[in-house]
Structure 1
Amino acid sequence: MSRLLIFSLLGHIFLLNGSVAYCDIKSPPFVSGFDRFARHGEIESQTGGRLLLSELSCTACHQTPRSELQPKRGPRLSGIGNRRLQTWIRDYLTSPHLVKPGTTMPDVLHGFSENKKRQTVNALAAFLAAQRTAYPTIKATGANPVPYEFWKKGNVKQGQNLYHKIGCVACHEPDETYEPGETKISPTDKMLAQLDPEDIKELGLSAAMRPVKSVPHGNLPAKYTRKALTFFLLDPAQSRPSGRMPNLKLKAVEAADITAYLLRDQQPQDEIKITNSDSTLIAEGEKHFVELKCVNCHTVQNLQQKEHAKPLIKLGKQASTGCLTNHQNGLPYYPLDDQQQTAIQEVFEKLPDDNKSDTEQRLSFQILQLNCFACHEREKQGGVGFNRKPYFETDGHIDLGDEGRIPPTLMGVGYKLQKKWLTKVLNGKGDIRPHMLARMPVFPAKVISTLPAMFEAVDRTQRQTEKQIFHNSTKLAVAGRMMLETGCIQCHPIRGENMPGVVGTDLGDVTNRVHANWFREFLLNPGALKPRTRMPTFFPDGKSQNISLLDGNVDRQIASAWAYLKAGKKQPLPEKIIEAKSKNYELVPKKRPIILRTFMKAAGTHAIAVGFPEKVHFAFDAEHIRPAIAWKGRFLDAQGTWFIRFAPPAIPLGESPVLMPAGSPFAVLNSLNQRWPAISSADSPYQFRGFKIDAEGIPTFLYHFQQFEIEDRFEPVEKQTLKRQLKIKRNQPLSKQENLWFRGLTGKSLKQINLTTMKNDTGLMVSISGILAKTGKLHTIENETDWLIPIPAKDNIVIEVKYQW
């Protein structure tokens, strides 16, 4: 029996035997925090009511000065005309709760006659169809290729894998046909699997076992085209600034893959077109949009609210005769169930007159609003649902326990993390767990701007400074280097360097991430701050096991470790790491070039790195058929490529890395008005044929491009310059309208150095042989300029290009 089936069966048993479940016949509005906690008495009913007031956007009409009750609001509708299918818009306006069960949008037309409703829907739909904005341009990089019309090229299987691995299923429904990879079940989960529902309830583990309900998708194939959904996934905040749907840092092809999976049952859709351009009907729809108070929740054009309903504080018991009850004509209709109505009513009965709430209350409430509990646990609440855990995996299925695959607890996070680092994490720039497939999402800056300060204010009970904790520890840095060899480097890299097979978090910048007092207490007793951690204690009973270092003084030993890590590059790496690095894993080209097939961030999974004795090197991307990166100095470390199953991308060991021009080097264009085509590996006109090596050991890359055969050779010349020679053989003639072009250089701006040389904003200079350079054209589109070289219509031609930086 599969692990997934075990988890699912346990969840179903608990549902049948436990005290869960409310009737879903009415499809009441689904709010994650309310359904997971308030329904089961795990937060106060009044807290659940406040959450509903915010998430149902009640305060968009019934204003309140209370910051935590500000409305979520609905999506921006500025570009809805070319981002939603028109039939779906009409159906949704007609009956939102039928089209999307669980939606938090009210039915504002429920009291209309059939004829009036139809007329109003027609007008609103015409007005919304007229709201059109251009899609943003997604710029390609070596690490983020953007094929031409990439949204049409998604792969369903890859999308299914991504959807189930990167964290989507923390909130949304998994596919019952998908079987996650092999992951060891934790001892705690094994114990739970052996208990019956009565035992679970008696032990107070009901919340841990209760299956987490999914945030509903609705009928996505009826709602989106592939293009619209792909762009939404790339930047959800563009249309949903509330941040309830966060940004999972998807690349263009990843967003296209997930879209292909989510819309896998959709019939091919054409580009959305306006079906009604009747200006009178559009104007009528705009009028309805304001009068029906749609504008209170949705941003479109510059329309503003004209009036508000009674302020929240003045509603009191009158709320029971308003939106809380079903089908009041002239009022929005929310199909609230009894428990939701009761929770909201309790808020009105106890709503304070002032706008005061302590920091801890505000913090807890915002975590509820953003549904951080879908992944993270805090105060013994939340965390990845028991029925979702199998989908959280490590890269390569490395066994690091639950702490290596499940998002970390938020308990005491303000005590642990420095405010600057926590801000960086929330902004999506603090990834330190490359082994974890689930991604920490990015939330809109306005939404999370106050969280780091609140976490610190609530959690950081000890306010001692680093100097107060470690005194004059800087003098101990040398001893700290030896201290780290007693166990730290066996699991953790230091400044990107590590022992063979190590995959833990890098300790190189830990002093910029964590508070000094947390660091000290964690080393003294890891299990006290992080239950069930695999981190061992090096100071059992508060005593050091290394009495020869600093006389075995525990405080000084911990201070020395902090001092060493704080010193950074001022201190050498631990001796054992240096020793491991010296075992000929670093490739040093001496008399001949070295060629290594590897995986590099800039050159992808089909990278071919070439190192020259002249200490200038480059990597060729054999998947997208282009030189990707060049650098000077030291070449590469082959340890990860040769020996480690789970290895991070190879990183150039030298200096001055420069990215080569992104995208395809060649294109056949009818005119320069065309955008330079982006190419994916799925439908590439290129065919890589490998490479040949000459007597000097220099490779020449061979590939087909449409009707051309191309030989591509790089060699170092004077002043650490790379010279490239391209031999182009034409097999068939082009049509009269078509021309072959070579993309010499690209950048935000290009500066002409002389008649044959251009320089871009990154400092890369490209020189092309004189005759061809004079025919080059500068082509600018959307703040990016290309230097394009027309290739003469000959059967054989040679181009010489030089790269300097």
Structure 2
Amino acid sequence: MNQRRTCLVTGLLCLIMGHSLLAAPDPAPFVSGFDRFGRHEELPKGTAGRLLISELSCAACHPTTQSALQPKGGPRLDGVGNRLQRKWVTEFLSAPHVTKAGTTMPDVLHGLPANEKASTIQALTAFLMSQQKPFPTIKATGANPVPYEFWNKGNVARGRELYHKIGCVACHETDEDYEPGETKFSPNDKLLAQLDPEDIKELGLAAAVRPVNSVPHPDLTAKYTPQALTFFLLNPEQTRPAGRMPQLKLAAVEAADIAAYLLRNQQPGAATAATSSDSAELITAGKKQFVELRCVNCHQVDQLKPTFSARPLNQLQTTAAASCFHNPQRKMPAYPLDELQQTAIKESLAALKQNENPSVANQLAFQLLQFNCYACHERDKQGGVGFNRKPYFETAGHVDLGDEGRIPPTLTGIGFKLQKGWLSKVLKGKGDIRPHMHARMPIFPGKEIAALPNQFEKVDRPQKRSETDVFPQHAQLAPAGRSMLETGCIQCHPIRGESMPGVVGTDLGEVTSRVHAQWFHDFLLDPASLKERTRMPTFFPDGKSQNKDVLKGDVEQQIAAIWAYLKAGDKQPLPEKILAAKSKNYELVPDKKPIILRTFMEEAGTHAIAVGFPQKVHVAFDAEQVRPALAWKGRFLDAQGTWFIRFAPPADPLGDALMQFPSGPPVAFLKQTEEVWPESKPGTDSLQFRGYRIDKQGVPTFLYRYQGIDIEDRLEATARQTLKRRLTIKAVSQPKTVGTLWFRGLTGKNLKTVDPTTRQNEDGLRVSVAEAFAKAGQERTRDKLSEWLIPVPLTEDTTIEVTYQW
């Protein structure tokens, strides 16, 4: 139900902003990049029109030397007689934009008298139906079973689920009755759903919440047979070589399932394989018309070649009395462009130069628009999965890995990150490394996307530092790298296919053949600088290592050692914990030093950092919400679920006497003392987790930043089984918010003063601070919740010592 409520909030928000998710079909051609960005002035001047020129195939008749404006072209029509229903073809030729709303095919018969139009359609249909071609033979393999006549055996329920999970709904409409699984939304998305339209516009976030319209489906039940649609889904490139519809790596039975879902309303026996019984004379007449009407300029069929070429693009007059989209005359193709589309094309034509050579960056951005890569991927703050589509991007088993684990990764800086060879592999559909994601990286025609790896590298990696430039003489450091991986990497990532079974991250075994050494170095040093809102913590806060026992704490050497170990592959043994963990007792018992474990906990979230102390007092820090979340006494944790159970349930403390810290950020600016204590907004400028450091006693100090204030939060157990907390607060820049900074010491239904420095709530939790802070503190009650707030001066470094007893 939470998911449904979130979807309803999104829908209501979109409707309030004037964007209906169920808008009536528009007869104007639908081009995804133009609809999403061009209509809202979010493309460079001229780009919107150039995109329309490309996708409407204007250069099929109007030649141009510019490669970016080459025509997309229409489907190949070889074998169209097998694929399409005769009645649908007739209706489509008669009124393309009525039969298929949003089609980019023009009406080429609009100027004909009724009788002539009817006879022309009859002849064209006869010619097209004569194009018979057997469907390809699909060979069965162990991974791809092919039952006899598999296209007739699709399962609607399975197809419905596949359609909504593997990525189809990034471009196409969802089923309003389909309920996505439970997905934990990011704090930013929750915040966006709660803002009113005025605030959204004022903050410049309209594009982030604007619903992404769908690429319209035709009436599939009237157009296809189950066999034809199944084979189209298996390999769209065979009929649409331009690649705007990609291949989603479907097995034969999966394609049949999705086809069954899409054709679920088709009456049994209503669609049958087409046969041509037309006369040879009628077919010949249709073939002649196909050439004369210039259909052949966009469609490949029967080895026919175009015989017509119109005025070149750069010579077109935008003020002409008649054109393909304004007052078209007979024999002109007619495009029902709306006013915005007409204006965009006119602007582009007016600025068109014959020998214009766009920069590599512009070529790259334009190609991403053409292939609608922005439907799934964000690059340079543009695009990404639409706000109204995010609920449908799920993880296997609904394991909560945040947006990083379910939303396709950003393309910002991807050429700096990925090596060209690996990027080519990904684009060819052979680079899947995220088994926890249901969404699939599609395959585009190799010819169409061949230039992308080079373009990404030229744009994102102007300075090419080699591996030896970044890590000179690193090979001998591999054993030390193995030790470094023990400090946290293997709790989130497999190594060479081996892992603690609870791990669901990407495998690090081949990472040195995937990413550039410079990116690896920079990412480990400061993950958030390269991947916004990443869940990857920094192990080198402020550029300093927390592990002084390996390579004397030399940060550069330690990062080089990790790279060396991973590059060595199976020449180096797996980390000791992976090799030995199954033979151990999984209960963690702190003895001489604290034990730190990254895990999932109900009260501390999916980024919990649990710290067990020998004094049998333990604490869990929520690194996502950036706050201490829970403390308990007695036994610590059982690590079996974290290490060995894939999609394990959250870890439960083994001890008792649980104590929960106040929710929300530990400190906050309040303009007035009556103001509501804010919620945590991790990943924003207001609250940023920056890792932790460990002292010689093994005690961690958690580091975070709040509106220009650096906070060091040290929690340590005492011999009396109390918890001692030391908050060191230092202003490093001018805070963005005006007001007093407060520390939230204690909350509860009722607070009692034990002595001048101590307050106690109804659960028996006592909190003590120094007398000077206690005197300045204030108690207040809001919505039946009492709070003890302590002001924090920012004139100099401030340290608050807090003692918790329970």
TM-score by length of 2: 0.72
Q: Which residue of 2 aligns with 1:545?
A: 546
Between the aligned partners of 1:447 and 1:417, the Cα distance in structure 2 is 20
Q: Which residue of 1 aligns with 2:533?
A: 532
Alignment of 1:696-775 (within 5 A): none
Matched with 1:497 is 498
CA distance in 2, matches of 1:137, 1:60: 33
1:582–1:241: structure 2 CA closer, same or farther, 3 Å change rule?
farther
Q: Are the counterparts in 2 of residues 75 and 299 from structure 1 also a CA contact under 8 Å? A: yes
With over 3 angstroms needed to count, the CA separation of the structure-2 counterparts of 1:320 and 1:399, relative to structure 1, is farther
Secondary structure at 1:479 match in 2: helix
- Conserved in 1, the CA contact under 8 Å of 2:21 and 2:213? no
Aligned residue for 1:578? 579
**Per-residue Cα deviation, 1:347-391 (whole angstroms, up to 9, x for no partner):** 111112313111000000000000000000011110000000000
Question: Which residue of structure 1 aligns with residue 635 of structure 2?
Answer: none
Residue in 2 aligned with 1:205?
A: 205
Report the counterpart of residue 650 of structure 1 in structure 2: none
Structure 1 residue 190 and structure 2 residue 193: aligned?
no
CA distance in 2, matches of 1:485, 1:319: 71
Offset of 1:27 from its aligned partner? Answer: 1.8
Q: 1:316 to 1:20 in 2, by over 3 A?
A: farther
Local SS of the residue matching 1:421: helix
Structure 2 residue aligned with 1:322: 323
Give the direction of change, closer, same or farther, for the CA distance of 1:22–1:10 in structure 2 (3 Å limit): closer
Distance 1:12 1:278 in 2: 56
Say whether the 8 Å CA contact 1:61–1:296 is kept in structure 2.
Answer: yes
Measure the CA separation in 2 of the matches of 1:465 and 1:256: 47
Matched residue, 1:391: 392
In the alignment, is the contact (CA less than 8 A) between 1:418 and 1:514 conserved in 2? yes
| SS across alignment from 1:441 | coil
Matches within 5 A, 1:235-246: 235-246=235-246
- AA at the equivalent of 1:563: A
C-alpha separation in 1, matches of 2:124 and 2:6: 49
Q: Which residue of 2 aligns with 1:159?
A: 159
> SS at 1:346's partner residue?
helix
Amino acid of the structure 1 residue aligned with 2:122: N
Partner AA of 1:455 in structure 2: F
Tell me by how many angstroms 1:132 deviates: 1.0
Structure 1 residues 19 and 139, CA, compared in 2 at 3 Å: closer, same or farther? closer
**In structure 1, how many angstroms separate the alpha carbons of the residues matched to 2:399 and 2:445?**
32
Q: Which amino acid aligns with 2:412?
A: M
Q: Name the amino acid aligned to 1:185.
A: F
Higher deviation after alignment, 232-241 or 19-28: 19-28
Contact 1:376 1:409 in 2 (8 A): yes
- Mapping 1:355-370, distance limit 5 Å: 355-370=356-371
5+ unaligned residues in a row in structure 1: which ranges?
A: 586-638, 648-805
Task: State yes or no: 1:95 paired with 2:89.
Answer: no
Q: Does 2:126 align with 1:126?
A: yes
Pick closer, same or farther for the CA change 1:235–1:23 going to 2, 3 Å. Answer: closer
* C-alpha distance in structure 2 between counterparts of 1:234 and 1:114, whole Å: 39
- When residues 480 and 97 of structure 1 are mapped into structure 2, their CA distance, relative to the original with a 3 A threshold, is same
**Aligned partner letter, 2:85:** L
Instruction: State the AA in 1 paired with 2:60.
Output: A
Q: Deviations over 1:181-223 (max 9, x none)?
A: 0011111111111100111111111001000000000100000
Distance in 1 separating the partners of 2:11 and 2:210: 6
Contact 2:66 2:354 survives alignment (8 Å): no
Q: Once the two structures are aligned, what percentage of the paired residues are identical? A: 64
1:142 deviates by 1.4
Q: Which residue of 1 aligns with 2:115?
A: 115
1:453 maps to 454
Residues 222-254 of structure 1 show CA distances to partners (whole Å, capped at 9, x for unaligned) of 000000000000000000011100000000010
Distance 1:583 1:87, change over 3 A: farther
Aligned residue number for residue 339 of structure 2: 338
Structure 1 contact 426–442 (Cα < 8 Å) conserved: yes
Task: Tell me, in whole angstroms, the C-alpha distance in 1 between the residues paired with 2:297 and 2:386.
Answer: 35
Residue 41 of structure 1 aligns with an amino acid whose one-letter code is E
Counting only pairs closer than 5 Å after superposition, residues 367-516 of structure 1 correspond to structure 2 as: 367-516=368-517
Aligned CA distance change for structure 1 residues 152 and 584 (closer, same or farther; 3 Å): farther
Counterpart-to-counterpart distance in 2, 1:22 and 1:365: 29
Q: Distance in 2 between matches of 1:2 and 1:293?
A: 54
Distance change >3 Å, CA 320–CA 521, structure 1 → 2: farther
Report what 2:561 is aligned to.
Answer: 560
Give the CA deviation at 1:643. Answer: 6.3
- What is the CA–CA distance in structure 2 between the aligned matches of 1:377 and 1:320, rounded to whole Å? 41
1:256 and 2:256 correspond: yes
Question: Are residues 239 and 383 of structure 1, via their aligned partners in 2, closer, same or farther at CA, if it must alter by over 3 Å?
Answer: same
Q: Is the 8 A contact 1:127 1:285 kept in 2?
A: yes
Map Cα deviations across residues 472-505 of structure 1 (whole Å, 9 max, x no partner): 0001011111111111101000000001311100
2:704 corresponds in structure 1 to: none
- 1:450-484 per-residue CA deviation (whole Å, 9 max, x = no partner) reads 00000000001331111011000001011111111
Q: Does the residue aligned with 2:435 lie in a helix, a strand or coil?
A: coil
Kept in 2: contact 1:85–1:225 (CA 8 A): yes
Equivalent positions of 1:221-300 (< 5 A) are 221-269=221-269, 271-300=272-301
Q: Deviations over 1:597-623 (max 9, x none)?
A: xxxxxxxxxxxxxxxxxxxxxxxxxxx
The aligned amino acid for 1:117 is K
- Does 320-329 or 363-372 show the bigger shift? 320-329
- Deviation of 1:273 (Å): 2.8
Shift of 1:318: 5.1
1:437-457 deviation digits (Å, cap 9, x = unpaired): 000000000011000000000
Paired with 1:468 and 1:263, the residues of 2 have a C-alpha distance of 57
| Partner deviation per Cα, 1:236-282 (whole Å, 9 max, x = no partner) | 00000111000000000100000000000001235323243310000
Give the direction of change, closer, same or farther, for the CA distance of 1:326–1:20 in structure 2 (3 Å limit).
farther
In structure 2, what is the Cα distance between the partners aligned to 1:111 and 1:417? 53
Equivalent residue for 1:518? 519
Distance in structure 1 (CA, Å) of the matches to 2:448 and 2:385: 22
Give the whole-Å Cα distance in 2 for the aligned partners of 1:376 and 1:283.
47
Does the residue aligned with 2:512 lie in a helix, a strand or coil? Answer: helix
Q: Is the 8 A contact 1:8 1:387 kept in 2?
A: no
Contact 1:319 1:345 in 2 (8 A): no
The correspondence of residues 56-95 of structure 1 with structure 2, limited to 5 A, is 56-95=56-95
Counterpart contact for 2:26–2:102, Cα < 8 Å: no
Q: Secondary structure at the match of 2:491?
A: coil
Whole-angstrom CA distance in 2 between matches of 1:211 and 1:326: 33
Deviation at 1:25, TM superposition (A): 7.2
Task: Please give the TM-score of this superposition, normalised by the length of structure 1.
Answer: 0.72
Deviations 1:159-185 (A, max 9, x none): 000000000000000000000000111
Number of aligned residue pairs: give it: 593
Query: Could you report, residue by residue, the CA deviation over 1:22-43 in whole angstroms, capped at 9, with x for unpaired residues?
Result: 9967521000000000101111
Q: CA deviation at 1:581?
A: 5.2
Amino acid at match of 2:212: V
Give the aligned residue type for 2:109: L
CA distance in 1, matches of 2:171, 2:96: 21
Q: Output one character per residue of 1:634-682: Cα deviation in whole Å (capped at 9) or x when no partner.
A: xxxxx99x963559xxxxxxxxxxxxxxxxxxxxxxxxxxxxxxxxxxx
- In structure 2, the partner of 1:46 is 46
Deviation at 1:411, TM superposition (A): 0.2
Distance in 1 between the 2:308 and 2:578 partners?
Answer: 68
Is residue 142 of structure 2 the alignment partner of residue 145 of structure 1?
Answer: no
CA distance in 2, matches of 1:23, 1:571: 59
Structure 2 unpaired stretches of 5+: 587-639, 649-806
Distance 1:320 1:436, change over 3 A: farther
1:178 is aligned to 2:175: no
